[in-house]
């Protein structure tokens, strides 16, 4: 019988590492595996799903959730999808259809936005999954468990390296940091 497994958490929580671990185990077991990334995932780049620590696995890249269905071949037993937040709400129906059809579907993605809100479609996938693994990162300020991440933007102090957390949407040089509950506001 098929099943849906969700790997959720903030950035740097090890979601991709866990996805790659499950893919490797399935490959050891000689299962037919399809790994899917999104064309918008510019960090991994096309043709691979990559973790911040350098673990990677070859993947197919698509622009829409519906395109995943056409990539499933005879013999595909496990479908692994990384960066679920890029796929939008359609991923819920696609993942459900694949699991209903008997496949193991592993979906990893952000469960929380950089301003601390539920992030779809992971929140909805959690509702219909057999298994949910919620991971935390390490707070960049204090080292405690981090269930959040913040977007840092360069602030105009004259110091190019000056970064401050923000919940705004102003463009510019930016990066992200994992933060615990206490430090997610600064």
Q: What Rg value do the Cα atoms of the chain yield, rounded?
A: 17
**15 interacts with ligand ADP by CB under 6 A:** yes
| Residue among 4, 5, 10, 16 that touches Mg ion (CB under 5 A) | 16
| Cα dihedral 151→148→132→123 (10° resolution) | -60
CA distance linking residue 126 with residue 51, whole number of Å: 22
Which span (14-22, 58-66, 85-93, 121-129) binds Mg ion, by CB under 5 A?
Answer: 14-22
Rank residues 38 and 183 by Cβ distance to Mg ion and give the closer one. 38
- 133 interacts with Mg ion by CB under 5 A: no
Catalytic annotation present for 83: yes
Name which of 2 and 5 has its Cβ closer to Mg ion. Answer: 5
Residues in the interface with Mg ion (CB under 5 A) total: 2
CA distance 26 to 78: 8
Closer of 11 and 129 to ligand ADP (Cβ):
11
Using CA atoms, how far apart are residues 12 and 147, in angstroms rounded to an integer?
Answer: 10
> Residue 112's beta-bridge partner residues?
118
For residue 58, the number of C-alpha atoms closer than 13 Å in the C-beta half-sphere is 3
Residue span binding ligand ADP (CB under 6 A) among the ranges 46-54, 88-96, 97-105, 164-172 = 46-54
Report whether 50 contacts 83 (CB < 8 A): no
Binding-site residues, please? 9-16, 82-85, 139, 142, 176, 180, 183
Which residues are designated catalytic? 83
Contact residues for Mg ion, defined by CB under 5 A:
15-16
């Amino acid at each position: 019988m098929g099943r849906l497994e969700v790997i959720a958490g903030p950035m740097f929580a090890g979601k991709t590492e866990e996805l790659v671990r499950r893919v490797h185990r399935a490959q050891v077991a000689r299962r037919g595996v399809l790994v899917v990334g999104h064309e918008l995932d510019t960090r991994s780049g096309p043709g691979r799903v990559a973790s911040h620590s350098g673990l990677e696995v070859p993947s197919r890249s698509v622009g829409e959730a519906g395109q995943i269905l056409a990539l499933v071949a005879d013999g595909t037993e496990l479908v692994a999808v990384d960066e679920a937040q890029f796929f939008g709400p359609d991923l819920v129906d696609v993942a459900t259809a694949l699991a209903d059809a008997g496949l193991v579907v592993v979906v990893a993605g952000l469960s929380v936005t950089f301003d601390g809100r539920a992030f779809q479609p992971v929140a909805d996938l959690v509702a219909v999954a057999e298994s949910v693994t919620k991971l935390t990162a390490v707070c960049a300020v204090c080292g405690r468990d981090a269930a959040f991440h913040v977007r840092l933007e360069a602030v105009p102090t004259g110091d190019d390296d000056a970064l401050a957390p923000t919940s705004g949407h102003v463009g510019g040089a930016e990066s992200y940091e994992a933060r615990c509950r206490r430090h997610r506001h600064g």
